[in-house]
């Protein structure tokens, strides 16, 4: 198997592990994410819901905020796995708009988003998922 493909699969496995920690009593939708830093380290995250719904944090942002809090700023890819809690995910879980915006703060258009429908890998770039992004460059 190509090395890049093996790395993506390994990242998905980390996302699946993180998904086990999902706190989703309101939606019953469990998500895990694994963020690959340029230095090779991986930060995982799960969604963390709240009775005040707007305080909910998606798995992707949990991973990003953990990484940034540790001083990481350069990222290569993120794997995302989501679906009904207690079941194997069978559909792609694409990042929400807020998470795409957080990605755009730290990542270029070639940042890779790795998803799966349970059968095959699906790869998109940030440029594909958030074209014409408003980002740090707009405020310079
Ligand atoms: N969620 C994520 O964590 N990531 C996504 O990409 C989509 C949605 C979470 C938020 C909420 O806890 C639940 O999934 C249902 O929206």
Each residue's pLDDT expressed in tens, for the chain with a length of 140 residues? 799 999 999 999 999 999 999 999 999 999 999 999 999 999 999 999 999 999 999 999 999 999 999 999 999 999 999 999 999 999 999 999 999 999 999 999 999 999 999 999 999 999 999 999 999 999 99
Question: Ligand 1: which of 23, 27, 31, 33 to mutate, judged by most atoms within 8 Å of the beta carbon?
Answer: 31
Q: Is 103 in the pocket of ligand 1 (CB under 6 A)?
A: no
Alpha helices in the chain (DSSP H): 3-19, 59-69, 97-106, 126-129
Give the global pTM: 0.98
Q: Is 45 in the pocket of ligand 1 (CB under 6 A)?
A: no
Tokens 């796995």 sit on residue:
81
Q: Is 60 a catalytic residue?
A: yes
The rounded distance, in Å, linking the Cα atoms of 103 and 36 is 12
- Sign, CA torsion 58/30/46/128: negative
């Amino acid at each position: 198997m190509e090395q890049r493909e093996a790395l993506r699969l390994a990242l998905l496995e980390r996302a699946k592990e993180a998904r086990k920690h999902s706190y989703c009593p309101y939606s019953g939708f469990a998500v895990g994410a694994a963020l690959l830093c340029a230095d090779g380290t991986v930060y995982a995250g799960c969604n963390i819901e709240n009775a005040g719904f707007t305080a909910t944090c998606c798995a992707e942002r949990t991973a990003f905020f953990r990484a940034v809090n540790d001083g990481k700023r350069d990222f290569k890819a993120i794997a995302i796995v989501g679906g009904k809690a207690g079941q194997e995910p069978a559909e792609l879980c694409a990042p929400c708009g807020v998470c795409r915006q957080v990605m755009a703060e730290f990542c270029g258009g070639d940042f890779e988003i790795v998803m799966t429908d349970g059968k095959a890998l699906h790869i998109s770039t940030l440029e594909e998922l958030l074209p014409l992004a408003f980002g740090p460059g707009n405020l310079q």
